[in-house]
Amino acid sequence: MGIFGRKNDTETATATATATADAVAVNPELAALTGEYTIDPSHSSLGFVARHAMVTNVKGKFLDFSGSLHLDGTDPSRSTASLDVTMDSIDTGSADRDGHLKSADFFKTDEFPTMTFRSTSAEALGGDDYRITGDLSILGVTRPLTIDLEFNGSAKDPFGNERVGFEGKAELLRSEWGLTWNAALETGGVLVSDKIKLNFDISAIKNA
């Protein structure tokens, strides 16, 4: 869900009603999905991309995380999300780089072992597209983050679990959370980009 300029109450109510109506019209069974869900980390991924040395991208992910969703298919604006990520589980495919990221230059995982996200608002954009905004906390700093989501559908797996799936993406400036370490390049520019791209693949199971 996004952060938007102020609108009068009539405009806001009209926009919310229209977006909700569009979402339900595209998926008439959306209301049946209403409920509490637990994210399944074995079928989900939390990844990121950073520009390295101004010429290439380095991709990474977090291997240990947990979270929950409350989905309201009738009124998506009432949906919520919560996520807790173990920072020591960072994995970029390089033990040396992972060690540096865990150090005092970056995430200080000894002092700040967990990154958290708590949603504050949600919005149906129409069709299968949604937007969620929440508070992202890293290094003891909490700032808003907006995530664009695409609903991938729902299904019952062979074990009887009712599942929903979402893909998401977001961008942030790491410096806004105090992640300022860098190194200058002889050719100009810096070693690590300030802009970080986030990507999510989420599978969540409906609670019994």
Residues 63-73 as b/e (b if ≥16 CB within 10 A, e otherwise) read eebebebbbbb
Q: What is the pLDDT of residue 25?
A: 44
Residue recorded with tokens 């991924």: 45
Query: CA angle, corner 115, sides to 197 and 82, nearest 5?
Result: 90
Cα–Cα distance measured from residue 11 to residue 19, given in angstroms and rounded to the nearest whole number: 12
The per-residue pLDDT for 27 is 54
DSSP 114-126: EEEEEEEEEEEEE
Contact 86, 92 (CB under 8 A): no
88 residue type, one letter: D
Which of 145, 140, 141, 164 has its CA nearest to residue 68?
A: 164
Given this model, what pLDDT does residue 30 score? 78
Per-residue pLDDT of the chain (208 residues; tens, 9 = 90+): 332 233 445 454 444 444 444 443 445 567 889 999 999 999 999 999 999 999 999 999 999 999 999 999 999 999 999 999 999 999 999 999 999 999 999 999 999 999 999 999 999 999 999 999 999 999 999 999 999 999 999 999 999 999 999 999 999 999 999 999 999 999 999 999 999 999 999 999 999 9
